[in-house]
Structures are given as C-alpha cells and as structure tokens.
Amino acid sequence: MYLSPLERMRKVHIWIGTFSGSKKEYEDYFNLQDSPCRFCIDIDADEFDEDFIGIIPLFNEEQDISVLLQEVPIDMDDIEDVLTSCKVMNIEKGNAVLYLTDVSLVVPNKEKNFNGLKYIGMYNSSL
C-alpha cells in the first residue's frame, strides 16, 4: 500500500546506545552497498530509504539521553515517554542516536542489540 512521504513521517522509530567501535565501523553498519546492509538485516528489510533515516554522527563522549533527543524529530509531548522507556531499559547515557521516520516499519525483535544501540520505540514525529 502506497503511503505518501508525509504520511510515512508521522512516526519516528528511535534507537539509542553506546557504540564502542570506530566512526567507520558505525557507518559501515548502515552501508547500502552491502546488500542487504547489516542494519537492514536487523530490521528485517531489504533496504531503507535514506530520505527517512537520521544517522547522527557519534558523539565523542556519552551524553545524557535528553541531549541525544535534541537530534531527533520527535513530538515534544513524547519526550518524557522516551526518557521513561530509557530508564526502564537502564539506558542513562549514550554516544549514538539513530532514527527512522516510517510509520509502516515494524521492528521484528525490539530487544535486539542494534550495533550497540537499543530500540526505544516508535513515537509521534515533529515533522
């Protein structure tokens, strides 16, 4: 079923965590030249649309979750829910945040370790 880009961007999936490898290793996880890419395998997809993903560059040091969320197009009303989810998952800080705006995406294994990041959930987008 076709969804317009605006319709797809109504929701944002968020991953947060600490990646301990190099910047290149982190970027390679999303490399679409690998078919399918490792991130694609983890979300059970053949590929992802680069227009709908936010692969935020790694921070040099771990940051509070609230700092990481400043990089994510999330509805302000949902930020407290994200912080609560992170607390439940024992995630207090991280150096990496990733988001994918796609209402149709169903993450198959929400407990999976996504290259050092944890899937936090799907929230309303601010886009």
Return the higher-pLDDT residue of 73 and 35.
73
Q: Is the peptide bond before 36 cis (omega within 30 degrees of 0)?
A: yes
State both tokens at 97: 């945040």
pLDDT at 5 over 80: no
Which tens digits make up the pLDDT trace of 86-102?
A: 999 999 999 999 999 99
**Residue 57: both structure tokens together:** 């560059």
Going from N- to C-terminal start, the domains of the chain cover 5-124
Which has the closest alpha carbon to 13: 111, 119, 93? 119
Question: Residues 54-90: pLDDT tens digits?
Answer: 999 999 999 999 999 999 999 999 999 999 999 999 9
Query: Can you tell me whether residue 104 is helix, strand or coil?
Result: coil
